[in-house]
Structure 1
Amino acid sequence: MTRIAAALALPLVAIVGAYPSTAAAPAPQFQTEAPVAYMTDLSSGAVLFERDADRRMPPASMAKMMTVYVAFDMVAKGELKLDTEFTMQPDTWKKWHAQGSTMFLSSGEKVSVANLLYGIVTLSGNDACIVLAEGISGTEAAFVDRMNQMRDKLKLTNSNFGTANGWPDNGVTYVSARDLGTLAARTIEDYPKLYKQFYSRPDFTWGKTLGSGDAITQANRDPLLGRVAGADGLKTGHTEEAGYGFTGSAEQNGRRLVMVLAGMTSWNQRVNDSVRFMEWGFRAWQAKPVVKQGRKVADAAVQLGDASTVGLVAPRNLTVTLPAGMTPQMQGKVVYQGPIKAPIKAGTHVADLVITSPGLPQQTLPLVAEKDVGEAGFFGRAWAGLTGLFG
């Protein structure tokens, strides 16, 4: 199988429509003192901004996004139920009841998976993370193995997890901003219902104060909630080693952005720069339609199929992200690993439409198989084998 860049079935202007082009447009720039910054537009795949996005750095509580992703994956597969209860073990309580952010769990208390997830996402509870990890895998170390297996599956090449909650561990746990952006995107795309249920809650009440026994309500630390329209996640982090960080997302008018800022020096800087960064992403960039849903873009060669080619179509209305007010010249090519081996199911992601424009980031849009393609019969396979000998 080789990577094939195929000619478009139609000129790009025929697919996109006739936009009046402007001169090459430099990508807009964002001003921040954060040493690490990254933003991507999930609707187009465009990276809108990156600064040291592959640096390995301590994630602090942003590591909890992987703990939550593992739990979401298990819930979606039926391996874990939201109403299952786990117990806060006495030894776990002694270690974690007063270590950083807490859900205020009590020793011996039984808590459902759903409430532990609220405690992790909304309250950033270190205690909640360990109770969930131990409940799922028996020990935190065994759960961490699950986290790193998932890291490999998601291809997070600059990440490693040594704890379930991101507590400093002498450099064993590290991530990159790009990996955090990927993890955020996969959480949103892979488990949209669970993401919506758990990641946008403004506050959560759990535990009671000593003495009066009043219920304890804590606000979500997400600096975008209530400040940026469409904001609905994800996770802050802070330790002395890591500084102040945030991985966030918001959706406006069909565009979803994911942002990461890290290494900031104060709570206020995290709030102010996070809000400005997300607003810049929506204001300085615009979406332009490229291909309507169902439109055929090209044909791909098929190996050992009952058809020699398969049409490549847009699975949804595809857009590119361009600087606001600009429509620079665009070029497109179809790329896929091919020939694509049969059988192929209609709707399967088998190719990409790669859009390039001078001065702007490359954008990669998915294309799917137009129809089912079955395997070739015996004589078809035999003929393919014979022609392969003399090809």
Structure 2
Amino acid sequence: MNLPQIARNTVAAAAFAIAGITGFANAQILDTPATHAVIMDHETGAILFAKAGEEPMVPASMTKMMTAYTVFEMVRRGELSMSDKFTVSENAWRKGGFPSGTSTMGLAPGDTPTVEELLHGVIIMSGNDACIALAENISGSEEAFARRMTNLAHELGLNSANFLNATGLEAVGHVISAEDLAKLAKLTIDNYPEYYSWYSLPSYTWRDFTQANRNPLLEISGADGVKTGHLEVSGYGLTGSAVRDGIRRTIVINGLPSMAARAAEGERLMRIAFNSFDLKTLTPDSVDLPDVPVWLGETQKVPVKLSSDLQIAGYKASMEKAKAEIVLPGPIEAPVSKGDELGKLIITIAGQKPMEAPILADADVAKLGFFGRAIEGLSHMLGGSESQS
């Protein structure tokens, strides 16, 4: 018996237009001088724009976002308290204090700051000494703490991460992607809002040493984090996040030639993130999907609908050319019950990963009786009905 084409295909796809996605024009194609860049919609987690976004890169002091997140997790689990006092070693002082010539909290050997004070030193002052003090007191060595950071990152789905220290100072193989840094920012904001607010503090003082927050975006309306980074090998980088009119967007940039270039490009990409991207919600009631063919059913097609709301975020110029497809895992054979998951709706927007949501049968389709199946089979053997794909 010859099956119709829909039944012979392992995947059946039908392209069609969805009203409400299109209608934007006159926007330029986005580019950036940064070697790595990402724009992420916070609510959906959708990557709106990426340039080498999945490529592991040297994060420099943006590493400290993971250092802090690891400590936040330990506090939540009861392994640490914010009031615990840690002793600063000579190693932490030499490698991350004033003698190191790197960004520092200004700690001295024998100091006993609290975990909370050290976190302020990490987040606001970008203190390498604060990072090393936390790492040594928690795990015995910075290397052991870095392994803990990497393991936690992988548990969180940040699979590009490989941390060799807690500071972000240069080490061959110490990397994470821009996309994973954006995801880490989202995790911090969603899971630890009470600590995320520290990222927006303008400065912090340890004893008589005050360091201003280096994040240039904090002067922009709605910006509230997160972290800068710089090494000669990485260039100047920034992970930044802001909220406007209830919408949050996060950017990551790296590989810029100067602090001024970082500030200018950070501000430009954040402005573009809000002005040149759009977010739409498709609901089951608002989307009219084409019927899906059914094999050996009392009716040849079944109506389908989205299983739930689907949020679509994208660059306005690209959304105008969005493509929607219904993708089935194989032939749909009767009987079909209303509510059965039959396949997926996939929305493809240029420059982004496809977005998808399950589609459900919106009606019952009973199976043909014996004579009906025989007639259906004979019809296809004789080429009496059209194949569908």
1:193 aligns with 2:194: yes
1:249 aligns with 2:253: no
1:226 aligns with 2:219: yes
Assess if the C-alpha contact under 8 Å between 2:96 and 2:127 holds in 1: no
Could you list the per-position Cα deviations for residues 316-364 of structure 1 after superposition, in whole angstroms to 9, with x for gaps in the alignment? x86322445976666376999xxxxxxxxxxxxxxx9865155463464
- Partners of 2:34 and 2:144 lie apart in 1 by 34
Letter of the aligned partner of 1:183 in structure 2? L
Shift of 1:108: 0.9
Which of 125, 134, 137 is the equivalent residue of 2:136? 134
| Alignment-derived partner of residue 338 in structure 2 | none
- Partners of 2:182 and 2:232 lie apart in 1 by 22
Assess if the C-alpha contact under 8 Å between 2:96 and 2:130 holds in 1: no
**Distance change >3 Å, CA 184–CA 353, structure 1 → 2:** farther
**Distance change >3 Å, CA 144–CA 12, structure 1 → 2:** same
SS at match of 1:72: helix
Could you list the per-position Cα deviations for residues 258-304 of structure 1 after superposition, in whole angstroms to 9, with x for gaps in the alignment? 21111111010000000101111101112223349xxxx9xxxxxxx
- Partners of 1:20 and 1:51 lie apart in 2 by 24
SS at match of 1:189: helix
Letter of the aligned partner of 1:246 in structure 2? L
| Alignment-derived partner of residue 157 in structure 1 | 159
Letter of the aligned partner of 1:128 in structure 2? A
| Alignment-derived partner of residue 211 in structure 1 | none
| Alignment-derived partner of residue 174 in structure 2 | 173
Assess if the C-alpha contact under 8 Å between 1:35 and 1:52 holds in 2: yes
- Partners of 1:43 and 1:239 lie apart in 2 by 31
SS at match of 1:93: helix
Shift of 1:92: 2.6
SS at match of 1:277: helix
Letter of the aligned partner of 1:186 in structure 2? L
Assess if the C-alpha contact under 8 Å between 2:50 and 2:351 holds in 1: no
- Partners of 1:106 and 1:192 lie apart in 2 by 31
Letter of the aligned partner of 2:244 in structure 1? Q
| Alignment-derived partner of residue 290 in structure 1 | 282
Assess if the C-alpha contact under 8 Å between 2:82 and 2:116 holds in 1: yes
SS at match of 1:69: helix
Assess if the C-alpha contact under 8 Å between 2:225 and 2:241 holds in 1: yes
| Alignment-derived partner of residue 205 in structure 1 | 205
1:276 aligns with 2:268: yes
**Distance change >3 Å, CA 12–CA 21, structure 1 → 2:** closer
- Partners of 1:74 and 1:334 lie apart in 2 by 43
Could you list the per-position Cα deviations for residues 27-65 of structure 1 after superposition, in whole angstroms to 9, with x for gaps in the alignment? 853332111111111223332211112333221111111
| Alignment-derived partner of residue 373 in structure 2 | none
**Distance change >3 Å, CA 29–CA 328, structure 1 → 2:** closer
**Distance change >3 Å, CA 332–CA 200, structure 1 → 2:** farther
| Alignment-derived partner of residue 259 in structure 2 | 267
- Partners of 1:232 and 1:334 lie apart in 2 by 40
- Partners of 1:167 and 1:219 lie apart in 2 by 20
Assess if the C-alpha contact under 8 Å between 1:27 and 1:359 holds in 2: no
Higher strand share: 1
- Partners of 2:189 and 2:17 lie apart in 1 by 30
Letter of the aligned partner of 2:174 in structure 1? T
**Distance change >3 Å, CA 26–CA 331, structure 1 → 2:** farther
How many residue pairs get aligned? The number is: 317
Letter of the aligned partner of 2:213 in structure 1? N
Higher mean C-alpha deviation, range 145-154 or range 44-53: 44-53
SS at match of 1:105: coil
- Partners of 1:110 and 1:6 lie apart in 2 by 65
- Partners of 1:20 and 1:61 lie apart in 2 by 39
| Alignment-derived partner of residue 306 in structure 1 | none
- Partners of 2:155 and 2:241 lie apart in 1 by 22
SS at match of 1:224: helix
1:184 aligns with 2:185: yes
Assess if the C-alpha contact under 8 Å between 1:67 and 1:129 holds in 2: yes
TM-score by length of 1: 0.71
Letter of the aligned partner of 1:223 in structure 2? P
Letter of the aligned partner of 1:49 in structure 2? F
Higher mean C-alpha deviation, range 111-120 or range 36-45: 36-45
- Partners of 2:183 and 2:93 lie apart in 1 by 33
| Alignment-derived partner of residue 53 in structure 2 | 53
Gaps of 5+ in 1: 209-215, 298-310, 337-351, 368-391
TM-score by length of 2: 0.71
- Partners of 1:334 and 1:219 lie apart in 2 by 52
- Partners of 2:356 and 2:42 lie apart in 1 by 10
SS at match of 1:110: coil
Shift of 1:157: 2.8
- Partners of 2:130 and 2:162 lie apart in 1 by 21
User: Superposed, which structure 2 residues align to 1:315-330 within 5 Å?
Assistant: 319-324=311-316
Could you list the per-position Cα deviations for residues 354-380 of structure 1 after superposition, in whole angstroms to 9, with x for gaps in the alignment? 65155463464789xxxxxxxxxxxxx
